[in-house]
Structure 1
């Protein structure tokens, strides 16, 4: 039995549950932005979109460290990590996410970079709208793929 894989599967499932809360908070904040026009709610939405990708990256880092046994390095490691998760590693693991999901997530990765490098008053609701509007669809797709990967981990963990 590989307890590390079972532990990782549990941790990944826990992170997905927390991601759902982030998605819900993002949607609630966006509704308030639309209803009130209050830019402070826009800041909240941006922070939650940032948190969404950061939480995903935490999952991906866990997989790369515990399953792949290698993490990307260098200036573009965030992009490389995302690419690594969409790649099957023969004899080790299936892809964690599909390439289509990777493409969606790359937009959130890019937005997180923007949030980290500009002042909040420079945020644009028009640029955030597509990310917010796609978020439930992207999350549901991601959840399905991550659940399948967690089942893979649990099956590997049950091997005696």
Structure 2
């Protein structure tokens, strides 16, 4: 009962993240077919990549708050949060995502920072391409980890 809202939130976010991933990949592929207007697609792709990381971070923050009882503080709290959720936490819960996926997410976190701080016409396709290439596999792995974590919560929730 105590983790019902967290379980529901995780399961609610997953299909939304599915949509963001699909939209980013589809837009990348569409933009590749029309290089003369690719710049139009880049902003859209960037916003979807931003949303992807932000959606995951929402889940991480809720977990840190509701289960761990603490959200990291300080200038680098975003990085500390990913570290925190990628490790078992004080015999309270297992890692939510593996360290390899946490490391991969670091590039998405950095890109989100770029999106927040530059004009969309400044975004370079050569920086976005590797993220798009990595996105489907990374999301597939993280999605499984999130579902496994929600199942863990269901078992301790009884």
State the partner residue of 2:141: 141
Aligned residue pairs, count: 156
Q: Deviations over 1:23-57 (max 9, x none)?
A: 01001110121011221111100110011000000
Cα distance in 2, alignment partners of residues 131 and 90 from structure 1? 33
Where does the alignment leave 5 or more consecutive residues of structure 2 unmatched? none
Give every structure 1 segment of 4 or more consecutive aligned residues whose post-TM-superposition deviation is greater than 6 Å: none
Alignment of 1:2-151 (within 5 A): 3-37=1-35, 38=37, 39-151=39-151
Cα distance in 1, alignment partners of residues 2 and 56 from structure 2? 19
Cα distance in 1, alignment partners of residues 14 and 3 from structure 2? 16
TM-score of the aligned structures, taking structure 2 as reference length: 0.96
Cα distance in 1, alignment partners of residues 111 and 144 from structure 2? 23
Where does the alignment leave 5 or more consecutive residues of structure 1 unmatched? none
Shift of 1:136: 0.5
The higher relative CO (CA closer than 8 Å, separation ≥ 6) is in 1
* RMSD of aligned residue pairs (Cα, Å): 0.8
Cα distance in 1, alignment partners of residues 130 and 6 from structure 2? 32
TM-score of the aligned structures, taking structure 1 as reference length: 0.95
